[in-house]
Amino acid sequence: MRIDILTVLPKLLESPFGDSILKRAREKGLVEIGIHNIRDYATGKHKSVDDYAFGGGAGMVMMVEPLAAAIEDLKSKRKYDEVIYMSPDGEMLDQKMANQYSLKKNLLILCGHYKGVDERIRQHFITKEISIGNYVLSGGELAAAVFCDAVIRLLPGVLNDETSALSDSFQDDLLAPPVYTRPAVFRGMKVPDILLSGNTPEVEQWRHDEAVKRTKEKRPGLMKKDE
């Protein structure tokens, strides 16, 4: 998989892709990440990428010309399955969406900034708008990092234990069950006996029952009707 990201703040994305699971995924050659500075496509002495909005109002708007130039340049080098704009009014990111995008080959992500991007970019270049929640961030970089993390960790070979991603919260519309590790007793608090029994079928049933219980208590809206 290859993911190209267009941003006015490329340094903001260095850490998310330079550590932990995403770093290992890149080192293994399982994903390529291209981070591109939109200012490289701007013209003029000051390399401006924003301007005042027509009609007045507070805030600046990302200009159509450098954004169009950047997208067209990258599209001339490869075919993208989707050109994504991280936006608070996009479709909400969830595990099902992450699963779907983990099957794609090439993705291009545009990170907005200021008051947003010129509407003509959204109308003529963007194929998908994605939100990570009902709130506003200073820019799309952190949202893009969240989206990429959710997708990349699902790629075969990224996680050491490939079954790990399959047991994550939301994969089966349930929250993950409680987990424990050593010691078995800490300050009088004991690990449930079933987890120490070695009886795999009963352990799996316990985990499912606890996942259902936890979901009902914390996120009942996720529950399937037959649970």
pLDDT digits 0-9 by tens, 69-80: 999 999 999 999
Domains of the chain: 2-152 (3.40.1280.10), 169-222 (1.10.1270.20)
Closest C-alpha among 113, 91, 96 to residue 150 = 96
Please give the Cα distance from 135 to 197 (Å, whole number).
45
- Residue owning tokens 């037959």: 226
* 53 confidence band (pLDDT: 50, 70, 90): very high
pLDDT at 173: 81
pLDDT at 152: 97
Helix/strand number for the chain, H first, E second: 7, 9
Contact partners, residue 196, CB within 8 Å, separation at least 6: 184
- Whether the per-residue pLDDT at 82 is higher than 60: the answer is yes
The answer to whether residues 43 and 49 touch, using CB atoms and an 8 Å cutoff, is no
Strands (E), 112-188: 128-131, 185-186
Please give the Cα distance from 204 to 151 (Å, whole number).
26
For the ranges 17-21, 140-144, 159-163, which has the lowest average pLDDT? Answer: 159-163
* 144 confidence band (pLDDT: 50, 70, 90): very high
- Whether the per-residue pLDDT at 51 is higher than 60: the answer is yes
Residue 102 vs residues 36, 147, 173, 182, 223: alpha-carbon distances, Å: 22, 11, 18, 34, 24
The answer to whether residues 151 and 101 touch, using CB atoms and an 8 Å cutoff, is yes
pLDDT at 170: 65
Indicate the pTM of the whole model: 0.88
- Whether the per-residue pLDDT at 208 is higher than 60: the answer is yes
pLDDT at 169: 58
- For 195, phi then psi, to 5°, come to -75, -15
Q: What is the DSSP letter of 31?
A: -
